[in-house]
Amino acid sequence: MPDQSISQSLPGGRTPESRTPEAATSGLTRRRLLGTAGATGLALGAAGAAVGYTAAPSQATPLSSIGTGEAMFHVKHQPGITQGLQARGHLAAFDLAAGAGRKEAAALLRRWSETARRLMAGEAAATGDTDVARDAGPSSLTVTFGFGNSFFSRTGLEKQRPVALDPLPDFSSDHLDRTRSDGDLWVQIGANDALVAFHALRAIQKDAGAAAKVRWQMNGFNRTPGATAHPMTARNLMGQMDGTRNPKPADPDFDQRIFVPVGSAKDPAWMADGSYAVVRRIRMLLDDWEKLSVTAQEQVIGRRKADGAALSGGTETTAMDLEKTDAKGDLVVPLNAHARITRPDQNGGAAMLRRPFSYHDGIDPDGTPDAGLLFVCWQADPLRGFVTVQRKLDRGDALSKYIRHEASGLFAVPGGAAEGEYVGQRLLEA
């Protein structure tokens, strides 16, 4: 779990007045229904009549800031990469059905893209909407699509498969369940409302129809934006601040590290403005971790648990002094500290944008929690990003004895769809 994770923020957003079928006659959008209910109440039908809901024609109050946050679908880079951490997330991989090929995949991506566009704008799905999110705002919903290595042979597009999608090497901390790894297609869903996120997951699953089936699916969560008095770096389930040194869009080299440039010599043209996502289910061995003293935990990470500052001193954002020693002459930040090993300047400049979710999938019969991190990182080149850092972690990270990598995937995520296009159109209709 490299020491790079996006800091929390609450994206703002406009609220276009797109109407749902239920609200069309009353002039209400899905995102305004909740505000109207808060201002006027929901009126029941006349006494003795069947129960129903009516929207009183009075001034609507706005949704909370969490509900109104909106991410755009038609953007240069797909949504769900540079946005702040979201409160709820779902990751899913799909395999194309037997006999399905390029034509079926194109139709599926067209359906998925239209559904994502509508739901992200706070509209109902075009068909078969379940009403799960009808009284919610967009809640910063994002839906992101990617292609796995196997997708290209299934669709006859082997010549368009990026070299960067070659399988990841094996690592010593791997205990991978292959049934929960890889996949032809990958979908990442995030939102700041759990019902909005589930609504999108269900819509995407239904859209798959007979073209594809779910290979695996995982659920995650983060702190809800606004839960603290001021924006703070999120904590993971080990209680550590997780993400102090994440690359930021304002960094001058951010785009070249995270996104494939137009005209790349080593990537196919359809990947322009896209990125590569590494997805890992990392189980935290919390029973072992929690037996350590706070001081011992800080030595493993290389940062203070209370405020995320480096053991060399200062605040969370103070540069780590790797040469500082204590009165005995020992390094203040141990050589095998996680934060030392993962620093870009200790890995030839290798960096990746981490955007993870925590997870908890219940408690094993022996009382051990099945909990940890759904690790998602983004980079223009996974060999130079994730693989470089993970290989170094493999050689001596103090954190490795407290975690276990249980599932893995690598996906090519193309650039965002332009108006009138669907995600992956430049690949599937070339």
Q: Which residues are catalytic?
A: 242
Tokens 């769809």 sit at which residue? Answer: 417
Residues 6+ apart with CB under 8 A from 215: 93, 94, 95, 179, 182, 183, 184
Task: Sort 270 into a burial class: Cβ within 10 Å, 0-12 / 13-18 / 19+.
Answer: buried
Element (H, E) at 57: none
**Angle value at C-alpha 172, between 166 and 173, nearest 5 degrees:** 100
Mapping DSSP to helix (H, G, I), strand (E, B) and coil, where does residue 309 land?
A: coil
Q: Count Cβ neighbours within 10 Å for each residue of 199-232 and write b for 16 or more, e otherwise.
A: bbbbbbbebbeebbeebbebbbbbebbeeeeeee
- Is residue 243 within 8 Å of residue 354, measured between CB atoms? yes
Using alpha carbons, list the distances in angstroms from residue 47 to 43, 52, 55: 11, 11, 17
How far, rounded to the nearest angstrom, does the alpha carbon of residue 125 sit from its chain's CA centroid?
22
Task: Report the helix count and the strand count for the chain, using DSSP H and E.
Answer: 11, 9
Length of the chain: 430
- Is residue 81 within 8 Å of residue 129, measured between CB atoms? no
C-alpha–C-alpha distance, residues 323 and 236, integer Å: 28
